[in-house]
Structure 1
């Protein structure tokens, strides 16, 4: 089943720390209802404003749910760098538009050894999607602008984008445990899109 397009990333960016906390609770056997309670009533993320957590929580849960036991364990136990890659995979897996952005813009550039992304690349991607899809064409200009921002910020936080100013791209180093596991569960295309 193909995922619907969603603008949920406007309220939930990279959020690696939060994803890790939720993964730990899931591994400990907590239900989504219990996790919701812990996040909102016990404020385990230590946020000042709970409204932003409320908005992001369903999306973070969805992200953790796309990870199997092996990936959850690696996310919790391995280094920050490994966690970043697993979180990127989870974002792509849970968000169709971001996956297509990675596939059609970032991976294409890296394949051609073009280590530079500019405003035009991002604008062209969104303009094409707006033309092709009624769901996306119905989003407000501010939603589209926010998504462009969030997409670039995710690339920055995972280390694919060197800086927002220069638009310089790096190849992501995908840990062999993650790469091998993803390939073994039939997710080779995600490894490819991450620039391997």
Structure 2
């Protein structure tokens, strides 16, 4: 069973937010309410953000991503597992929360992993954006600056999870799907997502 995809170009403002989501997941695991989490993050300035509005906005994004996982197990791994495992789970949370990332990771990156065509460039992302317009019409209205920002964000996600050595790299590296995430994906019956992590069995 797939997931109901939510498409949003608002991804340009969100970034990977690894430190932030790991902290929020940890606070949830300590049985804090959402109001308690907001208050603690603001009062102790845990995110080191300059404004209360930014803190609330980024905390809300973390909640949305954690909610999209729909898995207590994955949330606990996000809070407590090694950095590499937690980063991969965070990428999956972003995929589930935003259909643009889900489709990019499965249709572009997953296909490259499947065919072992490991070259990568802005052309791949631009071609994906062109295809995206067919079922997400709002993508046709993106300015070139929005497309550039989205390219930057998607590329940075790949660097964070070691698909790319750096933002200028033009060769994808094969990734290893950590068992913790594979178990969570299969429990959610979201096998379509496995190809994004170089898993085809």
Q: Which 5+ residue runs of structure 2 have no aligned equivalent? A: none
- Once residues 110 and 36 of structure 1 are traced to their aligned partners in structure 2, the CA distance between those partners, rounded to angstroms, is 39
- Once residues 53 and 148 of structure 1 are traced to their aligned partners in structure 2, the CA distance between those partners, rounded to angstroms, is 25
How many residues align? The count is 196
The alpha-carbon distance between structure 1 residues 144 and 51, as it changes in their structure 2 partners (threshold 3 A), is: farther
Query: 1:125 Cα deviation (Å)?
Result: 0.9
On the 8 A contact 2:111/2:195 being kept in 1, the answer is: no
- Once residues 127 and 192 of structure 1 are traced to their aligned partners in structure 2, the CA distance between those partners, rounded to angstroms, is 22
Residue of structure 1 equivalent to 2:19: 17
The alpha-carbon distance between structure 1 residues 107 and 30, as it changes in their structure 2 partners (threshold 3 A), is: same
1:187 aligned to 2:190? yes
On the 8 A contact 1:8/1:59 being kept in 2, the answer is: no
1:36-185 matches, cutoff 5 A: 36-48=38-50, 50=52, 52-67=54-69, 68-185=71-188
- Once residues 8 and 34 of structure 1 are traced to their aligned partners in structure 2, the CA distance between those partners, rounded to angstroms, is 26
Q: Which 5+ residue runs of structure 1 have no aligned equivalent? A: none
Query: 1:48 Cα deviation (Å)?
Result: 4.1
Corresponding residue SS for 1:66? helix
- Once residues 104 and 63 of structure 1 are traced to their aligned partners in structure 2, the CA distance between those partners, rounded to angstroms, is 21
- Once residues 34 and 172 of structure 1 are traced to their aligned partners in structure 2, the CA distance between those partners, rounded to angstroms, is 37
Query: 1:49 Cα deviation (Å)?
Result: 5.1
Query: 1:57 Cα deviation (Å)?
Result: 2.6
Residue of structure 2 equivalent to 1:26: 28
Higher relative contact order (CA 8 A, sep 6+): 2
- Once residues 58 and 175 of structure 1 are traced to their aligned partners in structure 2, the CA distance between those partners, rounded to angstroms, is 27
